[in-house]
Structure 1
Amino acid sequence: MKKIFNIQSLYSILFFTGSIIILGLIWQLVSIITEKEIPGPLQTWVVCKEMFTTPFYDNGPNDKGIGNQLMSSLWRVFIGFGIGSLIAIPLGVIMGSSKFMMRLFDPIVQILRPVSPLAWFPLGLLAFKAAAGATIFIITITSLWPTLINTSFGVSSIPQDHKNVGKAFGFSKLKYLTKILIPYSLPHIITGLRLSIGIAWMVIVAGEMLSGGSGIGFFVWDSWNGLSLEKILVAILIIGTVGLLLDKLFNVVQHAFAWENK
């Protein structure tokens, strides 16, 4: 039975603590250099405690607690990320399984992949007639590419020996899909999903700044309009922490399906 706490866990905790201390010192130095125009850690901590005293209050459209704002953002992220994944994985399998389909679709992917999410937002508004729909649209269209590319790479790199085994045993297309293609390419797919969720979480902030209404991005913009830099800094820390947790979650899943762990 593995020990829950070992020397590697201790090192990880120490390095993480050291990183936080360094970040705090840099933050305090910036606050001093700017003559406290940018609030320091202690000033921000006071506001942070106030915000988390009642994180889920709701006094109307433009006055909601940080917990409600965060839940709104996460809901949009997972909806957009889910739709993007449902598009990216099947299309990636098709592209990876056929050189013809790869040559046909790859130029489209390379043209659309670098487009900024802000450029997609007007088209989203035009298509969905609502800011919420437009925000989910830009998350979908910008987060699907890493999953698509990694899925197609994983499928296209299946060794010929694996394919020959399927032919020798007379596997049907469904059995080949479930016994060879998906198990072999799954680590690549999960890597793509891990990259995609990171992009989705970054995009949501910009999208909500444009769309308004609710969400962590709207909270940042609204705090700027209210000249509350402490709230902006708290929101930045929340965004970073949630992004870290999402990445760690997918990292655990990725290691669980890695071939070297089998």
Structure 2
Amino acid sequence: MAYGYALAVVAGISLGVLVGQSTWALRGLDPVFQVLRTVPPLAWLPISLAGFQDSAPSAIFVIFITAIWPIIINTSVGVRNIPEDYRNVARVLRLNGYEYFTRIMLPAAAPYIFSGLRIGVGLSWLAIVAAEMLIGGVGIGFFIWDAWNASMISDIVLALIYVASSASSSTAWSPMWVTA
């Protein structure tokens, strides 16, 4: 899960900043993002299995594609909502691009970015459990499916408690999810 989520963080924040800063990128990419984010995560699994021909990279891709949308959307909204006063201060101080990014943009958009990261990690937990059930092999999803097939309901309950306790600090149903 860490690999897929880390890739989603890097790509999501980068694309979110691009879409938030550029009107052209917003007009060109946002409609694509809005369409692709509606595709259920597990619908990507057969495509990724066909493309990667292996279950491990397929699971990483499913986590990536699940987590990236809230990160992109929240980051772009955060960047677009930077107050004009902050932009004016950057112009008065003649900040270069890097200084503007580190001193103005990131701090101002941080609440939105972290909200997207929080939602993304919660959705990643949902995707990995389901993907592991379908792919098989290892992981908590496979453990739950294997316990079901062995009629070991107590093991399923234990696994659900584990998943709930692991993901409780990063709930996917946050009211902070901004849909632009």
CA RMSD of aligned residues (A): 1.3
Q: What TM-score, normalized to structure 2? A: 0.92
* Partner of residue 195, structure 1: 119
Give matches, 1:8-87, under 5 Å.
Answer: 77-87=1-11
**Paired amino acid for 1:172:** N
**Paired amino acid for 1:186:** A
Alpha-carbon deviation of 1:235?
Answer: 0.9
Q: Is 1:120–2:44 an aligned residue pair? A: yes
The answer (yes or no) to whether the contact 2:41–2:127 under 8 Å persists in 1 is: yes
* Partner of residue 151, structure 2: 227
**Paired amino acid for 2:113:** I
**Paired amino acid for 1:241:** S
* Partner of residue 70, structure 2: 146
What SS does the corresponding residue of 2:116 show, helix, strand or coil? helix
Q: Write out per-residue CA displacement over residues 193-247 of structure 1, whole angstroms, 9 at most, x where no aligned residue.
A: 0000000011111100111000000001101111111111111111111111445
**Paired amino acid for 1:168:** V
Question: Structure 1 runs of 4+ off > 3 angstroms?
Answer: none
What stretches of structure 1 of length at least 5 have no aligned partner? 1-76, 252-262
What SS does the corresponding residue of 2:26 show, helix, strand or coil? helix
**Paired amino acid for 1:160:** E
What SS does the corresponding residue of 1:227 show, helix, strand or coil? coil
**Paired amino acid for 2:35:** I
Identity %: 41
**Paired amino acid for 2:103:** K
Larger relative contact order (CA 8 Å, sep ≥ 6): 2
Q: Write out per-residue CA displacement over residues 94-124 of structure 1, whole angstroms, 9 at most, x where no aligned residue.
A: 1001122111111111110011111100111
Give matches, 1:149-188, under 5 Å.
Answer: 149-188=73-112
Q: Is 1:236–2:145 an aligned residue pair? A: no
**Paired amino acid for 1:222:** D
**Paired amino acid for 1:205:** V
Q: Report the Cα distance in structure 1 between the residues aligned to 2:134 and 2:60, rounded to whole angstroms.
A: 12
Q: Report the Cα distance in structure 1 between the residues aligned to 2:154 and 2:106, rounded to whole angstroms.
A: 47
**Paired amino acid for 2:100:** Y
* Partner of residue 177, structure 2: none
Q: Write out per-residue CA displacement over residues 24-74 of structure 1, whole angstroms, 9 at most, x where no aligned residue.
A: xxxxxxxxxxxxxxxxxxxxxxxxxxxxxxxxxxxxxxxxxxxxxxxxxxx
Q: Report the Cα distance in structure 2 between the residues aligned to 1:78 and 1:245, rounded to whole angstroms.
A: 16
Alpha-carbon deviation of 1:161?
Answer: 1.1
**Paired amino acid for 1:154:** G
Relative to structure 1, the CA distance from residue 160 to residue 246 in structure 2 (aligned partners, 3 Å threshold; closer, same or farther) is closer
Alpha-carbon deviation of 1:185?
Answer: 0.6
Q: What TM-score, normalized to structure 1? A: 0.64
Alpha-carbon deviation of 1:166?
Answer: 0.9
Equivalent pairs counted in the alignment come to 172
What SS does the corresponding residue of 1:83 show, helix, strand or coil? helix
Q: Is 1:104–2:24 an aligned residue pair? A: no
